[in-house]
Amino acid sequence: MTDPLRHLAEAGRLTRFYGDGAWRDPAGRERAGVVNPASEAVIAEIALGGADDVELAVAAARRAFPAWSRTTPAERAALLDRVHRLVLDRLELFAQALTAEMGAAITYARRAQVPLAAEHLRVARDLLATYPFLSQRGTTAIAREAIGVCGLITPWNWPLYQITAKVGPALAAGCTLVLKPSELSPLSALLFAEVMDEAGCPAGVFNLVNGTGPVVGEALAAHPEVDMISITGSTRAGVLVAQAAAPTVKRVAQELGGKSPNVVLPDADLKRCIPLGVAAAMRNLGQSCSAPTRMLVPRAHLAEVEALAEKTVAGFAVGDPLREETTHGAIANRAQFDRIERMIRIGLDEGARLVTGGPGRPGGLTTGLFARPTVFSAVRRDMTIAREEIFGPVLAILPYDSVEEAVEIANDTIYGLGAHVQGTDLEQVRAVAGRIRAGQVHLNGPDWDPAAPFGGYKRSGNGREYGREGLEEYLETKSILGFYR
Protein backbone atom coordinates (compact mmCIF):
# COMPACT_ATOMS: atom_id res chain seq x y z
CA MET A 1 0.00 0.00 0.00
CA THR A 2 1.34 3.46 -0.91
CA ASP A 3 -1.55 5.56 0.47
CA PRO A 4 -0.23 6.79 3.84
CA LEU A 5 -3.57 8.11 5.08
CA ARG A 6 -5.39 4.86 4.40
CA HIS A 7 -2.49 2.87 5.84
CA LEU A 8 -2.37 4.88 9.09
CA ALA A 9 -6.15 5.04 9.44
CA GLU A 10 -6.63 1.29 8.97
CA ALA A 11 -3.89 0.62 11.52
CA GLY A 12 -5.48 3.03 14.01
CA ARG A 13 -2.32 5.12 14.28
CA LEU A 14 -3.59 8.65 13.60
CA THR A 15 -4.98 9.35 17.06
CA ARG A 16 -2.53 7.25 19.03
CA PHE A 17 1.01 7.66 20.32
CA TYR A 18 3.88 5.18 20.37
CA GLY A 19 5.56 4.51 23.70
CA ASP A 20 7.11 1.74 25.77
CA GLY A 21 6.98 -0.58 22.77
CA ALA A 22 3.27 -0.24 21.99
CA TRP A 23 0.67 2.05 20.43
CA ARG A 24 -1.53 3.66 23.07
CA ASP A 25 -4.38 6.11 23.38
CA PRO A 26 -3.52 9.64 24.55
CA ALA A 27 -4.39 10.80 28.03
CA GLY A 28 -6.61 13.62 26.73
CA ARG A 29 -9.03 14.16 23.89
CA GLU A 30 -7.56 17.17 22.09
CA ARG A 31 -7.32 16.78 18.32
CA ALA A 32 -5.87 18.75 15.41
CA GLY A 33 -6.49 18.60 11.69
CA VAL A 34 -3.75 17.82 9.19
CA VAL A 35 -4.07 20.10 6.16
CA ASN A 36 -2.92 19.21 2.66
CA PRO A 37 -1.42 22.55 1.53
CA ALA A 38 -2.02 21.83 -2.16
CA SER A 39 -5.79 21.59 -1.65
CA GLU A 40 -6.11 23.38 1.73
CA ALA A 41 -8.38 20.51 2.78
CA VAL A 42 -8.20 18.77 6.15
CA ILE A 43 -7.13 15.23 5.26
CA ALA A 44 -6.70 13.67 8.70
CA GLU A 45 -7.09 14.25 12.41
CA ILE A 46 -4.36 13.51 14.91
CA ALA A 47 -4.26 13.47 18.70
CA LEU A 48 -2.46 16.24 20.55
CA GLY A 49 -0.69 15.19 23.71
CA GLY A 50 -0.23 16.93 27.02
CA ALA A 51 1.94 16.83 30.12
CA ASP A 52 0.54 13.41 31.18
CA ASP A 53 1.56 11.88 27.84
CA VAL A 54 5.05 13.36 28.17
CA GLU A 55 5.28 11.94 31.70
CA LEU A 56 4.48 8.42 30.48
CA ALA A 57 6.91 8.63 27.56
CA VAL A 58 9.77 9.99 29.66
CA ALA A 59 9.21 7.33 32.32
CA ALA A 60 9.39 4.63 29.65
CA ALA A 61 12.59 6.10 28.24
CA ARG A 62 14.12 6.34 31.72
CA ARG A 63 13.33 2.68 32.46
CA ALA A 64 14.84 1.59 29.16
CA PHE A 65 18.02 3.64 29.45
CA PRO A 66 20.17 1.41 31.71
CA ALA A 67 19.85 -1.65 29.46
CA TRP A 68 20.05 0.20 26.12
CA SER A 69 23.06 2.29 27.14
CA ARG A 70 24.94 -0.94 27.98
CA THR A 71 24.37 -2.53 24.57
CA THR A 72 27.39 -2.93 22.32
CA PRO A 73 28.01 -0.67 19.33
CA ALA A 74 27.40 -3.70 17.11
CA GLU A 75 23.96 -4.27 18.66
CA ARG A 76 22.99 -0.64 18.14
CA ALA A 77 24.33 -0.72 14.58
CA ALA A 78 22.19 -3.77 13.85
CA LEU A 79 19.04 -1.90 14.90
CA LEU A 80 19.99 1.13 12.82
CA ASP A 81 20.66 -1.13 9.84
CA ARG A 82 17.16 -2.59 10.09
CA VAL A 83 15.61 0.86 10.39
CA HIS A 84 17.63 2.12 7.43
CA ARG A 85 16.49 -0.75 5.22
CA LEU A 86 12.84 -0.38 6.24
CA VAL A 87 12.83 3.35 5.43
CA LEU A 88 14.20 2.67 1.96
CA ASP A 89 11.80 -0.22 1.47
CA ARG A 90 8.93 2.20 2.17
CA LEU A 91 10.31 5.11 0.18
CA GLU A 92 7.11 5.58 -1.82
CA LEU A 93 4.88 5.47 1.26
CA PHE A 94 7.03 8.11 2.99
CA ALA A 95 7.19 10.23 -0.17
CA GLN A 96 3.40 10.22 -0.52
CA ALA A 97 3.07 11.20 3.15
CA LEU A 98 5.47 14.13 2.75
CA THR A 99 3.61 15.39 -0.30
CA ALA A 100 0.28 15.16 1.51
CA GLU A 101 1.37 16.76 4.77
CA MET A 102 3.72 19.54 3.63
CA GLY A 103 3.28 19.97 -0.12
CA ALA A 104 6.63 18.67 -1.35
CA ALA A 105 6.69 17.83 -5.06
CA ILE A 106 6.48 14.04 -5.26
CA THR A 107 9.59 13.87 -7.43
CA TYR A 108 11.52 15.90 -4.83
CA ALA A 109 10.21 13.77 -1.98
CA ARG A 110 11.36 10.63 -3.80
CA ARG A 111 14.80 11.81 -4.79
CA ALA A 112 15.70 14.03 -1.80
CA GLN A 113 13.44 14.13 1.25
CA VAL A 114 13.37 10.35 1.82
CA PRO A 115 16.78 9.18 0.51
CA LEU A 116 18.65 11.94 2.35
CA ALA A 117 16.78 11.06 5.54
CA ALA A 118 17.90 7.45 5.15
CA GLU A 119 21.50 8.65 4.83
CA HIS A 120 21.49 9.94 8.42
CA LEU A 121 20.65 6.42 9.60
CA ARG A 122 23.40 4.91 7.45
CA VAL A 123 26.02 7.37 8.70
CA ALA A 124 25.07 6.73 12.34
CA ARG A 125 25.21 2.98 11.74
CA ASP A 126 28.60 3.13 10.05
CA LEU A 127 30.14 5.38 12.72
CA LEU A 128 29.57 2.68 15.31
CA ALA A 129 32.15 0.47 13.63
CA THR A 130 35.00 2.91 14.28
CA TYR A 131 34.03 5.44 16.96
CA PRO A 132 36.36 5.25 20.03
CA PHE A 133 33.94 5.15 22.96
CA LEU A 134 36.99 4.39 25.14
CA SER A 135 40.42 5.87 24.45
CA GLN A 136 43.73 6.14 26.28
CA ARG A 137 45.54 9.31 27.31
CA GLY A 138 48.59 8.30 29.31
CA THR A 139 47.28 6.23 32.24
CA THR A 140 43.83 7.84 31.99
CA ALA A 141 40.90 6.38 30.10
CA ILE A 142 38.58 8.78 28.32
CA ALA A 143 35.12 7.26 28.14
CA ARG A 144 32.33 8.66 25.98
CA GLU A 145 28.97 7.61 27.41
CA ALA A 146 25.35 8.16 26.45
CA ILE A 147 23.99 11.36 27.96
CA GLY A 148 20.66 9.77 28.93
CA VAL A 149 17.04 10.44 28.00
CA CYS A 150 16.75 12.86 25.08
CA GLY A 151 13.80 14.98 23.98
CA LEU A 152 13.86 15.51 20.21
CA ILE A 153 11.80 18.34 18.72
CA THR A 154 11.57 18.39 14.94
CA PRO A 155 10.09 20.88 12.42
CA TRP A 156 7.59 20.76 9.56
CA ASN A 157 9.85 21.69 6.64
CA TRP A 158 12.00 18.52 6.38
CA PRO A 159 9.90 16.22 8.59
CA LEU A 160 11.48 12.80 8.07
CA TYR A 161 14.97 14.16 7.40
CA GLN A 162 15.13 16.02 10.70
CA ILE A 163 13.78 13.02 12.60
CA THR A 164 16.51 10.71 11.33
CA ALA A 165 19.18 13.40 11.82
CA LYS A 166 18.41 13.22 15.56
CA VAL A 167 17.16 9.67 16.12
CA GLY A 168 20.10 8.08 14.28
CA PRO A 169 22.94 9.52 16.38
CA ALA A 170 20.90 9.43 19.62
CA LEU A 171 20.35 5.69 19.24
CA ALA A 172 23.95 5.15 18.14
CA ALA A 173 25.17 6.89 21.29
CA GLY A 174 23.08 4.61 23.49
CA CYS A 175 20.45 7.18 24.44
CA THR A 176 16.73 6.60 24.79
CA LEU A 177 14.39 9.25 23.45
CA VAL A 178 11.05 10.95 23.21
CA LEU A 179 10.26 12.45 19.80
CA LYS A 180 7.91 15.39 19.35
CA PRO A 181 7.42 15.96 15.63
CA SER A 182 5.68 19.01 14.25
CA GLU A 183 1.93 18.75 14.63
CA LEU A 184 1.68 20.34 11.17
CA SER A 185 3.43 17.44 9.41
CA PRO A 186 2.95 14.37 11.62
CA LEU A 187 2.19 11.63 9.08
CA SER A 188 5.80 10.77 8.23
CA ALA A 189 6.61 10.65 11.96
CA LEU A 190 3.84 8.13 12.62
CA LEU A 191 5.13 6.01 9.73
CA PHE A 192 8.63 6.25 11.21
CA ALA A 193 7.33 5.04 14.58
CA GLU A 194 5.93 2.00 12.76
CA VAL A 195 9.36 1.38 11.27
CA MET A 196 11.00 1.57 14.69
CA ASP A 197 8.51 -0.94 16.06
CA GLU A 198 8.90 -3.37 13.16
CA ALA A 199 12.69 -3.07 13.33
CA GLY A 200 12.54 -4.55 16.83
CA CYS A 201 13.43 -1.46 18.84
CA PRO A 202 13.37 -2.45 22.54
CA ALA A 203 10.44 -1.11 24.55
CA GLY A 204 10.96 2.42 25.82
CA VAL A 205 14.01 3.20 23.69
CA PHE A 206 11.95 5.15 21.12
CA ASN A 207 8.78 7.01 22.08
CA LEU A 208 6.60 9.44 20.12
CA VAL A 209 4.17 12.06 21.45
CA ASN A 210 2.40 14.39 19.04
CA GLY A 211 1.52 17.86 20.24
CA THR A 212 2.26 21.55 20.12
CA GLY A 213 5.47 23.28 21.10
CA PRO A 214 3.97 25.31 23.95
CA VAL A 215 2.50 22.14 25.52
CA VAL A 216 4.48 19.01 24.65
CA GLY A 217 7.69 20.78 23.66
CA GLU A 218 7.80 22.84 26.84
CA ALA A 219 6.94 19.82 29.01
CA LEU A 220 9.83 17.90 27.49
CA ALA A 221 12.25 20.81 27.86
CA ALA A 222 11.33 21.38 31.50
CA HIS A 223 11.18 17.73 32.56
CA PRO A 224 13.79 16.91 35.22
CA GLU A 225 14.22 13.35 33.90
CA VAL A 226 15.12 14.53 30.40
CA ASP A 227 18.89 14.93 30.15
CA MET A 228 19.09 16.66 26.77
CA ILE A 229 16.89 18.54 24.32
CA SER A 230 17.68 18.74 20.62
CA ILE A 231 15.51 21.16 18.67
CA THR A 232 15.38 22.18 15.05
CA GLY A 233 13.13 25.17 14.47
CA SER A 234 12.92 28.93 14.48
CA THR A 235 15.24 31.03 16.62
CA ARG A 236 12.19 32.14 18.61
CA ALA A 237 11.28 28.51 19.38
CA GLY A 238 14.87 27.71 20.28
CA VAL A 239 14.98 30.54 22.81
CA LEU A 240 11.74 29.35 24.45
CA VAL A 241 13.02 25.78 24.71
CA ALA A 242 16.32 26.94 26.20
CA GLN A 243 14.48 29.03 28.77
CA ALA A 244 12.26 26.09 29.77
CA ALA A 245 15.30 23.81 30.02
CA ALA A 246 17.50 26.19 32.03
CA PRO A 247 16.25 25.33 35.55
CA THR A 248 17.27 21.68 35.11
CA VAL A 249 20.65 22.54 33.55
CA LYS A 250 20.21 20.03 30.75
CA ARG A 251 22.11 20.13 27.49
CA VAL A 252 20.27 22.01 24.73
CA ALA A 253 21.35 21.55 21.12
CA GLN A 254 19.73 24.02 18.73
CA GLU A 255 19.64 24.15 14.94
CA LEU A 256 17.74 27.35 14.26
CA GLY A 257 17.24 30.09 11.69
CA GLY A 258 19.46 31.41 8.95
CA LYS A 259 19.93 34.05 6.27
CA SER A 260 22.74 32.43 4.36
CA PRO A 261 24.88 34.35 1.85
CA ASN A 262 26.02 33.10 -1.54
CA VAL A 263 29.13 35.11 -2.42
CA VAL A 264 29.70 35.15 -6.17
CA LEU A 265 33.28 36.31 -6.68
CA PRO A 266 34.30 38.50 -9.67
CA ASP A 267 35.92 35.62 -11.56
CA ALA A 268 33.02 33.17 -11.09
CA ASP A 269 31.51 31.36 -14.06
CA LEU A 270 28.12 33.09 -13.93
CA LYS A 271 26.41 30.78 -16.41
CA ARG A 272 27.20 27.89 -14.11
CA CYS A 273 26.92 29.30 -10.61
CA ILE A 274 23.87 31.57 -10.90
CA PRO A 275 21.43 28.80 -11.94
CA LEU A 276 22.88 26.59 -9.21
CA GLY A 277 22.58 29.39 -6.67
CA VAL A 278 18.97 30.17 -7.57
CA ALA A 279 18.07 26.47 -7.40
CA ALA A 280 19.77 26.11 -4.02
CA ALA A 281 17.96 29.15 -2.61
CA MET A 282 14.60 27.75 -3.73
CA ARG A 283 15.23 24.11 -2.93
CA ASN A 284 12.25 22.82 -0.95
CA LEU A 285 10.58 26.13 -1.92
CA GLY A 286 13.12 28.00 0.19
CA GLN A 287 11.79 26.27 3.32
CA SER A 288 15.28 25.35 4.51
CA CYS A 289 17.09 27.12 7.32
CA SER A 290 20.38 27.02 5.40
CA ALA A 291 18.98 28.17 2.02
CA PRO A 292 21.39 30.70 0.43
CA THR A 293 18.75 33.41 -0.02
CA ARG A 294 21.19 36.36 -0.16
CA MET A 295 23.15 36.30 -3.42
CA LEU A 296 26.07 38.74 -3.34
CA VAL A 297 27.34 39.64 -6.82
CA PRO A 298 29.77 42.17 -8.33
CA ARG A 299 27.90 45.34 -9.24
CA ALA A 300 29.37 45.28 -12.75
CA HIS A 301 27.75 41.88 -13.39
CA LEU A 302 24.33 42.71 -11.93
CA ALA A 303 22.42 42.83 -15.22
CA GLU A 304 23.82 39.49 -16.40
CA VAL A 305 23.03 37.88 -13.04
CA GLU A 306 19.45 39.16 -13.17
CA ALA A 307 18.94 37.71 -16.64
CA LEU A 308 20.34 34.32 -15.63
CA ALA A 309 18.22 34.26 -12.46
CA GLU A 310 15.06 35.12 -14.39
CA LYS A 311 15.78 32.40 -16.95
CA THR A 312 16.36 29.83 -14.19
CA VAL A 313 13.07 30.61 -12.46
CA ALA A 314 11.25 30.41 -15.80
CA GLY A 315 12.27 26.75 -15.92
CA PHE A 316 10.50 25.93 -12.65
CA ALA A 317 7.10 24.25 -12.71
CA VAL A 318 4.98 25.22 -9.71
CA GLY A 319 1.75 23.35 -9.16
CA ASP A 320 0.11 20.08 -8.16
CA PRO A 321 2.85 18.28 -6.20
CA LEU A 322 1.64 14.88 -7.40
CA ARG A 323 2.35 15.69 -11.07
CA GLU A 324 5.66 14.24 -12.23
CA GLU A 325 6.61 17.43 -14.08
CA THR A 326 6.17 19.65 -11.00
CA THR A 327 9.46 20.92 -9.60
CA HIS A 328 8.03 23.04 -6.76
CA GLY A 329 4.84 22.15 -4.91
CA ALA A 330 2.90 24.02 -2.24
CA ILE A 331 4.08 26.04 0.75
CA ALA A 332 3.78 23.80 3.80
CA ASN A 333 1.16 25.72 5.80
CA ARG A 334 -1.04 28.80 5.78
CA ALA A 335 0.97 30.78 8.33
CA GLN A 336 4.13 30.38 6.26
CA PHE A 337 2.33 31.19 3.01
CA ASP A 338 0.97 34.41 4.51
CA ARG A 339 4.42 35.39 5.78
CA ILE A 340 5.98 34.87 2.34
CA GLU A 341 3.31 37.00 0.69
CA ARG A 342 3.79 39.73 3.29
CA MET A 343 7.58 39.73 2.87
CA ILE A 344 7.31 39.98 -0.92
CA ARG A 345 5.12 43.05 -0.54
CA ILE A 346 7.59 44.54 1.94
CA GLY A 347 10.36 44.02 -0.61
CA LEU A 348 8.33 45.97 -3.18
CA ASP A 349 7.45 48.70 -0.70
CA GLU A 350 11.09 49.17 0.33
CA GLY A 351 12.19 49.67 -3.27
CA ALA A 352 13.87 46.43 -4.25
CA ARG A 353 13.78 45.75 -7.99
CA LEU A 354 11.49 42.84 -8.89
CA VAL A 355 13.20 40.59 -11.43
CA THR A 356 10.58 37.86 -11.51
CA GLY A 357 7.69 36.55 -9.42
CA GLY A 358 5.86 38.75 -6.98
CA PRO A 359 2.82 38.38 -4.72
CA GLY A 360 -0.09 36.09 -5.46
CA ARG A 361 -0.37 32.56 -6.77
CA PRO A 362 1.29 31.54 -10.05
CA GLY A 363 -0.90 31.87 -13.12
CA GLY A 364 -3.64 29.29 -13.44
CA LEU A 365 -3.70 28.35 -9.76
CA THR A 366 -6.73 29.62 -7.86
CA THR A 367 -6.56 27.43 -4.74
CA GLY A 368 -3.79 25.92 -2.66
CA LEU A 369 -0.81 27.47 -0.90
CA PHE A 370 1.23 28.08 -4.04
CA ALA A 371 3.74 30.94 -4.05
CA ARG A 372 5.51 32.48 -7.03
CA PRO A 373 9.30 31.95 -6.98
CA THR A 374 10.49 35.52 -6.60
CA VAL A 375 13.80 37.26 -7.27
CA PHE A 376 14.61 40.78 -6.11
CA SER A 377 17.68 42.71 -7.22
CA ALA A 378 19.44 45.93 -6.22
CA VAL A 379 18.70 44.93 -2.64
CA ARG A 380 20.39 46.95 0.08
CA ARG A 381 21.70 45.22 3.16
CA ASP A 382 19.37 47.25 5.42
CA MET A 383 16.21 46.09 3.64
CA THR A 384 13.90 43.73 5.50
CA ILE A 385 14.19 41.04 2.82
CA ALA A 386 17.98 41.10 3.26
CA ARG A 387 17.86 40.77 7.02
CA GLU A 388 14.88 38.62 8.04
CA GLU A 389 14.49 34.93 7.37
CA ILE A 390 11.58 34.60 4.93
CA PHE A 391 11.59 30.79 4.67
CA GLY A 392 10.15 30.78 1.20
CA PRO A 393 11.08 30.98 -2.51
CA VAL A 394 12.39 34.55 -2.33
CA LEU A 395 15.94 35.41 -3.41
CA ALA A 396 17.58 38.79 -2.69
CA ILE A 397 20.46 39.83 -4.99
CA LEU A 398 22.79 42.32 -3.32
CA PRO A 399 25.50 44.09 -5.40
CA TYR A 400 28.97 44.75 -3.99
CA ASP A 401 31.96 46.79 -5.17
CA SER A 402 34.86 44.82 -3.66
CA VAL A 403 35.53 41.40 -2.21
CA GLU A 404 36.18 43.05 1.13
CA GLU A 405 32.70 44.57 1.03
CA ALA A 406 31.21 41.20 0.00
CA VAL A 407 32.66 39.54 3.09
CA GLU A 408 31.38 42.38 5.25
CA ILE A 409 27.84 42.05 3.82
CA ALA A 410 27.94 38.25 4.18
CA ASN A 411 28.69 38.58 7.89
CA ASP A 412 26.22 41.44 8.45
CA THR A 413 23.51 39.20 9.93
CA ILE A 414 22.42 37.87 13.30
CA TYR A 415 22.58 34.38 11.79
CA GLY A 416 25.48 32.11 10.88
CA LEU A 417 24.21 28.75 9.69
CA GLY A 418 25.39 28.27 6.13
CA ALA A 419 27.10 30.05 3.25
CA HIS A 420 28.20 29.49 -0.34
CA VAL A 421 31.24 30.91 -2.17
CA GLN A 422 31.62 30.73 -5.96
CA GLY A 423 34.76 31.52 -7.95
CA THR A 424 37.43 30.20 -10.33
CA ASP A 425 40.50 31.02 -8.20
CA LEU A 426 40.24 28.28 -5.57
CA GLU A 427 42.77 29.98 -3.31
CA GLN A 428 40.57 33.08 -3.14
CA VAL A 429 37.43 30.98 -2.72
CA ARG A 430 38.99 29.22 0.25
CA ALA A 431 40.21 32.51 1.75
CA VAL A 432 36.74 34.07 1.57
CA ALA A 433 35.16 30.93 3.02
CA GLY A 434 37.55 31.15 5.95
CA ARG A 435 36.37 34.69 6.75
CA ILE A 436 32.63 33.94 6.73
CA ARG A 437 31.13 33.40 10.17
CA ALA A 438 28.97 30.36 9.48
CA GLY A 439 28.91 26.72 10.53
CA GLN A 440 28.98 25.24 7.04
CA VAL A 441 30.30 26.74 3.80
CA HIS A 442 29.80 25.25 0.32
CA LEU A 443 32.46 25.98 -2.29
CA ASN A 444 31.41 26.13 -5.96
CA GLY A 445 28.20 24.18 -5.60
CA PRO A 446 25.39 23.08 -3.32
CA ASP A 447 26.80 19.59 -2.73
CA TRP A 448 25.62 17.80 0.42
CA ASP A 449 27.79 15.63 2.64
CA PRO A 450 25.90 13.60 5.30
CA ALA A 451 29.10 13.20 7.31
CA ALA A 452 29.88 16.95 7.40
CA PRO A 453 28.93 18.58 10.72
CA PHE A 454 26.06 21.04 10.40
CA GLY A 455 25.09 23.81 12.79
CA GLY A 456 25.25 27.50 13.41
CA TYR A 457 27.17 30.45 14.71
CA LYS A 458 25.43 33.33 16.48
CA ARG A 459 21.61 33.08 16.62
CA SER A 460 21.53 30.10 14.30
CA GLY A 461 22.01 27.90 17.35
CA ASN A 462 24.65 25.80 19.04
CA GLY A 463 25.85 22.25 18.78
CA ARG A 464 26.27 20.22 15.60
CA GLU A 465 24.32 17.58 13.72
CA TYR A 466 25.43 14.97 11.15
CA GLY A 467 28.52 12.80 11.16
CA ARG A 468 30.89 12.25 14.07
CA GLU A 469 30.16 15.63 15.65
CA GLY A 470 26.44 14.89 15.53
CA LEU A 471 27.00 11.65 17.43
CA GLU A 472 29.11 13.41 20.05
CA GLU A 473 26.27 15.81 20.91
CA TYR A 474 24.57 12.84 22.59
CA LEU A 475 27.64 11.76 24.60
CA GLU A 476 29.09 12.74 27.95
CA THR A 477 32.84 12.64 28.60
CA LYS A 478 34.21 10.77 31.60
CA SER A 479 37.87 10.66 32.68
CA ILE A 480 38.93 7.52 34.56
CA LEU A 481 42.33 8.18 36.11
CA GLY A 482 44.67 5.25 36.72
CA PHE A 483 42.72 3.01 34.35
CA TYR A 484 45.90 2.03 32.49
CA ARG A 485 48.99 0.85 34.39
Residues carrying an active site annotation: 255, 289
CA dist., res. 407 & res. 436, Å (int): 7
Q: Count other C-beta atoms under 10 Å from residue 199's C-beta.
A: 18
Give exposure, 50-73, as e/b (b: 16+ Cβ within 10 Å).
bbebbebbbbbbbebbeebbebeb
**Cα dist. 115→90, 107, 125 in Å?**
11, 12, 15
